[in-house]
Amino acid sequence: MATVNIEDIANTLSNLPVLELAKLKTLLEEKWGVKAQAAMPQMAAAPQAGKAQEAQEESTEFQVTLEEAPADKKIGVIKVVREITGLGLKEAKDLVEAAPKVLKATAPKAEAEEIVKKIQAAGGKASSKGL
């Protein structure tokens, strides 16, 4: 077996567009017979008072998801998605057509609200969820 340089693989993957990474994920899931899933963070047991205080704290990071883009508003939504993500035209079009899709994995509250407003102004539906 040839020697594999893990750092070269990591650099190659870091330079792939989002859509290519999604295709790679699907291909590996099929090849290995597994389903990729985000790991759940392990939480240490906290005192009851700590839990109540934690529940009152508001999220500072949000995930923004494009829910849908009506056919008659798709071009406007694609333009906004390109602006937000920096994707090329084809990648942005593919992302919009595959909605619901995550547009921004983490964003501050103000930025997440602004992104949702831009998508809604373009005629699409978007949501933000606290992390």
Q: What is the pLDDT of residue 26?
A: 82
Cα 116 to its chain centre, rounded Å, is 14
> pLDDT by residue (tens digit) across 73-117?
999 999 999 988 888 999 999 999 988 988 888 888 888 899 999
Angle at alpha carbon of residue 118, lines to 117 and 122, rounded to 5°: 115
CA gyration radius, the chain: 19
51 has pLDDT over 60 = no
Q: Supply the range of the domain harboring residue 113.
A: 59-130
Could you tell me the pLDDT band of residue 56, with boundaries at 50, 70 and 90?
very low
- Residue 101 is assigned to a structural domain of this protein: yes
- Residue 77 is assigned to a structural domain of this protein: yes
- Residue 45 is assigned to a structural domain of this protein: no
Q: Tell me what percent of the residues of the chain surpass a pLDDT of 90.
A: 22
Among the listed residues 104, 108, 100, the one whose alpha carbon sits nearest the alpha carbon of residue 124: 100
pTM exceeding 0.85: no
- Residue 121 makes CB contacts below 8 A (sequence gap 6+) with 80
Could you tell me the pLDDT band of residue 52, with boundaries at 50, 70 and 90?
very low
124 has pLDDT over 70 = yes
Q: What is the pLDDT of residue 41?
A: 57
Q: What is the pLDDT of residue 40?
A: 54
- Residue 80 is assigned to a structural domain of this protein: yes
- Residue 15 is assigned to a structural domain of this protein: no
Number of domains in the chain: 1
- Residue 112 is assigned to a structural domain of this protein: yes
- Residue 3 is assigned to a structural domain of this protein: no
- Residue 110 is assigned to a structural domain of this protein: yes
Mean pLDDT of the chain: 80
Cα separation, 38 vs 40, in Å, equals 6
What CATH number is given to the structural domain containing 63? 3.30.1390.10
